[in-house]
Amino acid sequence: MNSTDSLTKGRRILGLAMISLGTLCTISQLTNGQALRANLGQGLAYAATAQTSNEMSRVENAQAETRAIAGTLEATFRGILAQSDKPAWVGYSVDEVSGDRSICCGNWNDGAGCGTCRLENDHNWTGGSRKSDNQAGGTVKLEGSRRLVVLFRIESKQVDRIRVASEDCTLDAGGLPFLWLTGVKPSESVALLTTYVQGAEFERHEHHNIGQGALSAIALHGDVSADRAMASFVKPDQRQELRKQAAFWLGVARGKEGLNTLQHLAKNDPSSDVRAHVTFALSVSHEPGALEEMIRMAHDDSSSHVRGQALFWLAQTAGKKAVGTITGAIENDPDTEVKKKAVFALSQLPKDEGVPKLIEVAQTNRNPEVRKQAMFWLGQSNDPRALQFFEQVLLK
């Protein structure tokens, strides 16, 4: 794995940890033309639907059955929920948004297949993996659409967990009933999940926050209805925590439409905390224009906090392309705290780019606080050029 891939992976892991989303798992390969077979003695079940040309993958340790949607997904699901006294899992699949990720049971999987995803394991968290097209042992589909599996854990007539799975894992349902729904329309799936996004308290950072699980599921739908839903979650009248978390998913999953929404959010959201979060969301977007928007925010945002965050994520993302913006902030930003954050951003650049600039700042900047900050980060660099600079200063 090269350094760029490591950095990209690190930013994604950091972002997923920051928003403390609910658990995601991975479901194994979807194939065509088989009928449901359950063998409770061996704890294995398979399901298929000619109706939608998709199949449930292998499920272990489950009492499994399939059911076709009658009317709408909302009506069918509410009917199931009304009868759910004991715990069970309900799942279905839709097309997944394009990209080189693989959701895998809360693990970042860089090569081999996902293995078994234990749905009743409470210790998983949101995760996925990015795999290069030519990586040996990888399982990312290169042609055609992938299927995303949406999973609801229900009990006592309520949903108590929402998880998402992709195609390369076996599901272990922990001995619970497992109901596979066929014929689900992606727009109806987005509509159903939206009710849980809007009804959840995002400020409560619980391990099984169903609103956060629903949000991540919507973000991974390969349908235009998901773009509309994600845009609605970042309107000014939505809760601030929801806007921040939706911004992350717009950057990491929604491509060009996500970038368009982020650009609007960066210019118009009234909260500096949300706009600061947008800088991170832009840093995980691979769309042309994301870097330019980060640079604009570093220059022009009215909040010193936002400008500082934009500088930080530019340093993490852009390398040489960010140097001009960072050094410009050190020279020209009116806020000393932003200047100090820009100095820190220099320390985050590759050493061949950052260390010479830090030395230059330490030697020539007119602001003593800024010079002091540059000296501090040079001291943390363990770079021979920094040591040589300190020797020169001390011997004068």
pLDDT, one tens digit per residue, over 52-80 is 445 776 788 888 999 999 899 999 999 99
What pLDDT is stored for residue 141 in this prediction? 46
| CATH hierarchy code of domain 288-396 | 1.25.10.10
Mean pLDDT for the stretch of residues 96-112: 61
Residues in the chain, overall count: 396
Does residue 106 surpass a pLDDT of 80?
Answer: no
Handedness of CA 281, 186, 145, 116 (dihedral sign): positive
Could you tell me the pLDDT band of residue 289, with boundaries at 50, 70 and 90?
A: very high
What pLDDT is stored for residue 389 in this prediction? 79
Q: Which residue has the higher pLDDT, 162 or 386?
A: 162
What pLDDT is stored for residue 117 in this prediction? 79
**Three-class SS of the chain:** CCHHHHHHHHHHHHHHHHCCCCCCCCCCCCCCCCCCEEECCCCEEEEEECCCCEEEEEEECCEEEEEECCCCHHHHHHHHHHCCCCCEEEEEEEEECCCCEECCCCCCCCCCCCEEEECCCCCCCCCCEECCCCCCCCCCCCCCCCEEEEEEEEECCEEEEEEEECCCEEEECCCCEEEEEECCCHHHHHHHHHHHHHHCCCCCCCCCCHHHHHHHHHHCECCHHHHHHHHHHCCCCCCHHHHHHHHHHHHHHCHHHHHHHHHHHHHHCCCHHHHHHHHHHHHCCCCCCHHHHHHHHHHHCCCHHHHHHHHHHHHHHHCHHHHHHHHHHHHHCCCHHHHHHHHHHHHHCCHHHHHHHHHHHHHHCCCHHHHHHHHHHHHHHCCHHHHHHHHHHHHC
Mean pLDDT for the stretch of residues 35-63: 48
Does residue 322 surpass a pLDDT of 70?
Answer: yes
Q: Average the pLDDT over each of 40-54, 281-295, 330-344 and give the range with the smallest value.
A: 40-54
Rounded-to-integer distance, Cα 118 and Cα 25, Å: 8
Could you tell me the pLDDT band of residue 99, with boundaries at 50, 70 and 90?
A: confident
Backbone angles phi, psi at 328, to 5 degrees: -65, -40
Summarised one tens digit per residue, pLDDT across range 143-172 is: 446 888 899 999 999 999 998 887 777 888
Mean pLDDT for the stretch of residues 225-240: 96
Q: From residue 125, how far is each of 3, 204, 345 by CA, in Å?
A: 25, 16, 30
Does residue 281 surpass a pLDDT of 70?
Answer: yes
What pLDDT is stored for residue 166 in this prediction? 75
Q: Which residue has the higher pLDDT, 99 or 151?
A: 151
Q: Which residues of 208-227 are buried (b: 16+ CB within 10 A; e: fewer)?
A: ebbbbbbbbbbbbbbbebbb
Work out the angle between the directed axes of helices 320-332 and 304-318 (0-180°, nearest 10): 150
Does residue 13 surpass a pLDDT of 80?
Answer: no
Average predicted confidence (pLDDT) for the chain: 78
Does residue 31 surpass a pLDDT of 60?
Answer: no
Does residue 135 surpass a pLDDT of 50?
Answer: no
Does residue 4 surpass a pLDDT of 50?
Answer: no
Q: Average the pLDDT over each of 46-60, 133-147, 169-183, 220-234 and give the range with the smallest value.
A: 133-147
Q: From residue 239, how far is each of 31, 173, 235 by CA, in Å?
A: 40, 34, 9
What value, to the nearest 5°, has the Cα angle with vertex 98 and ends 92 and 100?
Answer: 110
Summarised one tens digit per residue, pLDDT across range 214-228 is: 999 999 999 999 999
What pLDDT is stored for residue 105 in this prediction? 62
Tell how far CA 275 is from the center of its chain: 17
C-alpha torsion angle, residues 68, 69, 71, 75 (rounded to 10) = 140
Could you tell me the pLDDT band of residue 101, with boundaries at 50, 70 and 90?
A: low
Per the DSSP assignment, residues forming a β-bridge with 115 are 169
Range(s) for CATH 1.25.10.10 in the chain? 288-396
Does residue 130 surpass a pLDDT of 70?
Answer: no
Could you tell me the pLDDT band of residue 37, with boundaries at 50, 70 and 90?
A: very low
What pLDDT is stored for residue 214 in this prediction? 94
Q: Which of 252, 291, 327, 352 is nearest to 13 (CA)?
A: 252
Q: Is 117 exposed, middle or buried (0-12, 13-18, 19+ CB in 10 A)?
A: buried
Rounded-to-integer distance, Cα 363 and Cα 263, Å: 37
What pLDDT is stored for residue 267 in this prediction? 97
What value, to the nearest 5°, has the Cα angle with vertex 104 and ends 101 and 107?
Answer: 100
Token pair in block for residue 278: 């947008």
Does residue 47 surpass a pLDDT of 60?
Answer: no
Q: Average the pLDDT over each of 11-25, 204-218, 269-283 and give the range with the smallest value.
A: 11-25
The percent of residues in the chain predicted with pLDDT above 70, rounded, is 73
Q: Which residue has the higher pLDDT, 346 or 159?
A: 159
